[in-house]
């Protein structure tokens, strides 16, 4: 099973590198959204420090949603997804491999560039470290939960709008605790509780969403 998982991840990473424009679109969207807020709000550093974690987390959430439509679409269009369903390997394992590849392509670049963008908001080094850790825990959960919505809306006309309506309510707790971790750390309250809750969300999503997404894909194919 680990060999299958590795093959799926390498395959999707190779395909993503052939479509670099899609990857860069997500990254540029994140950079533009985060950079526009300081220009619109003004140079008040106290206000920017207060709103910075929330803005970065909302931008990361929207950037993650922007790329979810491509998670299964290309494999569905060329018939590869149907062949994957017919393989003897569990479909949930294949879904997990595709989600991991999606996170490596979209989530990791957002995490790496977020400290640079957060400097615009006057965040301290300690707050930057907490922000990176919260994104490392939260963005995989966003990809895992989004895979369920992507499976349910696969092949539907106007599926992007429906996908947003389905998964946004599920994203809200991750958004609250992700941004709250930075706020709590900056206030001297400690971010351990928020990290624990983000970790719990990640473990729960890792255990449940591959099976749910696999079931959603079977329903959409049929």
Specify which of 4-18, 161-175, 192-206 reaches the highest per-range mean pLDDT.
Answer: 192-206
Report the pLDDT value the prediction gives residue 108, as an integer from 0 to 100. 92
CB 213, CB 147: distance < 8 Å:
yes
Q: What's the whole-number mean pLDDT along residues 177-193?
A: 87
CB 58, CB 36: distance < 8 Å:
no
In the structure, what pLDDT confidence band is assigned to residue 172 with cuts at 50, 70 and 90? very high
The residue among 154 and 34 whose pLDDT is bigger is 34
| Res 157 pLDDT > 80 | no
What angle is formed at CA 211 by the lines to CA 194 and CA 142, rounded to 5 degrees? 35
Packing angle of the helix pair 192-221, 91-102 (nearest 10 deg): 130
Per the prediction, the chain carries an average pLDDT of 87
Among the ranges given (2-16, 87-101, 130-144, 145-159), the one the predictor scored with the smallest mean pLDDT: 145-159
The closest of 70, 69, 91 to 167, measured between CA atoms, is 69
Q: How far apart are the first and last CA of the chain?
A: 26
Using CA atoms, how far residue 192 sits from 68, 126, 137, 157, 198, in Å, is 30, 13, 12, 43, 10
Report the pLDDT value the prediction gives residue 142, as an integer from 0 to 100. 92
The closest of 168, 166, 178 to 202, measured between CA atoms, is 178
Report the pLDDT value the prediction gives residue 190, as an integer from 0 to 100. 81
The closest of 106, 104, 61, 83 to 217, measured between CA atoms, is 83
Q: For residue 120, what is the DSSP state?
A: G
Q: What is d(CA 197, CA 178) in angstroms, rounded to the nearest whole number?
A: 9
Report the pLDDT value the prediction gives residue 178, as an integer from 0 to 100. 92
Report the pLDDT value the prediction gives residue 165, as an integer from 0 to 100. 84
Q: For residue 164, what is the DSSP state?
A: H
| Res 222 pLDDT > 80 | no
In the structure, what pLDDT confidence band is assigned to residue 158 with cuts at 50, 70 and 90? low
The residue among 46 and 34 whose pLDDT is bigger is 34
Place of tokens 């099973």: 1
């Amino acid at each position: 099973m680990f060999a299958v998982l590795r093959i799926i991840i390498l395959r999707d990473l190779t395909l993503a590198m052939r479509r670099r424009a899609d990857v860069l679109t997500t990254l540029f969207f994140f950079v533009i959204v985060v950079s526009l807020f300081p220009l619109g709000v003004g140079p008040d550093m106290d206000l920017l420090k207060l709103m910075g974690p929330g803005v970065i987390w909302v931008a990361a959430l929207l950037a993650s949603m922007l790329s979810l439509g491509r998670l299964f679409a290309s494999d569905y269009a060329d018939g590869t997804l149907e062949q994957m369903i017919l393989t003897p390997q569990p479909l949930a394992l294949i879904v997990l491999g595709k989600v991991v590849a999606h996170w490596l392509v979209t989530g990791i670049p957002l995490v790496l560039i977020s400290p640079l963008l957060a400097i615009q908001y006057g965040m301290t080094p300690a707050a930057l470290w907490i922000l990176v850790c919260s994104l490392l825990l939260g963005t995989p959960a966003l990809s895992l939960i989004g895979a369920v919505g992507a499976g349910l809306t696969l092949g539907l006309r106007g599926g992007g709008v429906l996908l947003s309506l389905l998964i946004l309510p599920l994203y809200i707790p991750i958004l609250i605790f992700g941004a709250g971790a930075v706020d709590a750390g900056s206030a001297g309250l400690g971010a351990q509780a928020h990290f624990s809750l983000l970790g719990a969300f990640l473990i729960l999503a890792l255990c449940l969403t591959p099976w749910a997404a696999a079931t959603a894909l079977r329903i959409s194919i049929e």
